Amino acid sequence: MMEAFEQPAESPEAVRPLGRAIVITSGKGGVGKTTTTANVGTALAARGAKVVLVDADVGLRNLDIVLGLESRVKFHLLDVLEEKATLDEALIRDKRSESLYLLAAAQTREKEDVDTGLMKALVETLRARFDYVLIDCPAGIEMGFKNAVAGAQHAIIVCTPEVSAVRDADRVVGLLPNDWRPELIVNRLRPLLVKKGKMLSVDDVNGILRLPLLGVIADEPNVIVATNRGEPLALDALSETGAAYRAIAAKIAGEDVPAPEVRPASTGIFSKLGSLFGKRG
């Protein structure tokens, strides 16, 4: 059963240290998991790392379209798991980054079709070939989530400064293995609204979640434009969002990056959050 996953005969692969497998998750849908996966992956590859992005959103795949690779998908994750295609046949090289690859999700299958054990084995195989395995997790906490988490050793939680998102992120953190130390990216911050007291601040969000902060990304209409084109902003030297993702990639790679700027916290209307969640120990 493992034959399809075996590495090609280039022996240098066998002695490289295992790459890191990181799942990008959130609970709530639409907060920017896929955009984050695409951009962080692109930024890591731009630094020379070998990166594979795995779309675990079976049935509703979107990582391919965010990367502009939708026309190149021939085989997908389930094809590999079910040995209808080899990993090499399914891996799609990015248009722009030489060391960035995509393993697309199946579009016409269901999340329940993925065998957790096989998924774990696949991630292990990918770790042997890549420096980073980034797994784009679907919304929710059901089978799709469980399979995306299987095989990963680390998680990035993406959360927007909205009560529903924070609540869902909190739930997800509780479902991850106890020994994991997930890190937080706060996405779609609107500093002006935070100042007016109409939006949660980063402190408000992390006051509940209490996670190491990996990055803060301001809301930017260019994200929509970038997805329209299939060109991640991490490649755009002039984009603030791109810069934020590049900083996140640097931090993941172990660089000493200054702490993301945290806007002054707002108070008052968000005291109810405390009662909603209680403080997690």
Partner 1 sequence: MIDFFNKFFRPLPPSGATAKERLRLVLLSDHLSLAPDVVESLKRDLLAVISRYVEIDPAHADVTFERRDHDVAMLASIPITGVRRPGYDESPEPTPPPAPRPVRYDASSASAPASGGVAVATKAQAPSAPVSMELPMAAEPAPAPPVAVVPSGSDETPPKSAATSAAHRRRRRRRKANAAAKRNAQAQDDPPMNASAQA
Partner 2 sequence: MSGRRIVVTSGKGGVGKTTTTVNVGAALAKRGHRVVLVDTDIGLRNLDLVLGVEKRIVFDIVEVIEGRCQLRQALIKDKRFESLSMLPAAQTREKEAVTEEQMKAVIVELAESADFVLIDCPAGIEHGFRSAVAGASEAIVVTTPEVSAIRDADRVVGKLHALRMPMRVIVNRVRPDMVRSGEMMSVDDVCDILSAELLGIVPDDEEVIDTTNRGEPIVLDDSKRLATIYDKIARRLGGELVPFSNLDEPGFFGRLKTLWKVG
By the rule CB under 8 A, 103 interacts with partner 1 = no
Query: Nearest approach, Cβ of 41 to partner 2 (angstroms)?
Result: 16
CB 68 within 8 A of CB 230: yes
Binding of partner 2 by 151 (CB under 8 A): no
Residue 20 CB-density burial (10 A; 0-12 exposed, 13-18 middle, 19+ buried)? middle
When the beta carbons of 228 and 271 are compared against partner 1, the nearer one is: 228
Query: With respect to partner 2, which residue has the nearer C-beta, 212 or 264?
Result: 264
CA distances 19 to 50, 241, 247, Å, are 9, 26, 20
Q: How far is the CB of 207 from partner 1 (least distance, A)?
A: 31
Select the residue interacting with partner 1 from 218, 230, 250, 257 (CB under 8 A). 230
Amino acid at 169: A
Residue 103: strand pairing partners = 54
The pairing of strands 51-55 and 100-103 is parallel
Q: Does 207 participate in binding partner 2 (rule CB under 8 A)?
A: no
- Window 55-94: residues binding partner 1 (CB under 8 A): 65, 68, 70-73
Nearest approach, Cβ of residue 161 and partner 2 (Å): 8
Span 221-240, contacts to partner 2 by CB under 8 A: 221, 224-225, 227-228
CB of 171 to partner 2, least distance (A): 6
User: What are phi and psi for residue 87, nearest 5 degrees?
Assistant: -60, -40
Binder of residue 82, out of partner 2, partner 1, none (CB less than 5 to 8 A by kind)? none
Report in angstroms how near the CB of residue 44 gets to partner 1 at its nearest: 24
Query: By C-alpha distance, which of 245, 195, 239, 194 is closest to 216?
Result: 245
| Angstrom distance (rounded) from CA 222 to CA 4 | 40
* Binder of residue 27, out of partner 1, partner 2, none (CB less than 5 to 8 A by kind): partner 2
Is residue 218 involved in binding partner 1 (CB under 8 A)? no
**List 11, 71, 178, 275, residue binding partner 2 (CB under 8 A):** 275
| Interaction of residue 28 with partner 2, rule CB under 8 A | yes
Distance CA 24, CA 5 (A): 23
Locate 235 and state its tokens. 């490649």
Instruction: Judge contact between 175 and 181, C-beta under 8 A.
Output: no
The residue type at 122: L
Residue 196's contacts (CB-CB under 8 Å, 6 or more residues apart) are none
73 binds, among partner 2, partner 1, none (CB under 5 to 8 A by kind): partner 1
Contact 49, 97 (CB under 8 A): no
Structure tokens at 221: 């209409």
Q: Which is nearer to partner 1, 71 or 178 (CB)?
A: 71
Binding site for partner 2 (CB under 8 A): 27-31, 34, 59-60, 62, 65-66, 110-112, 138-144, 162-164, 167-168, 171, 190-193, 195, 198-200, 221, 224-225, 227-228, 269-270, 275-276
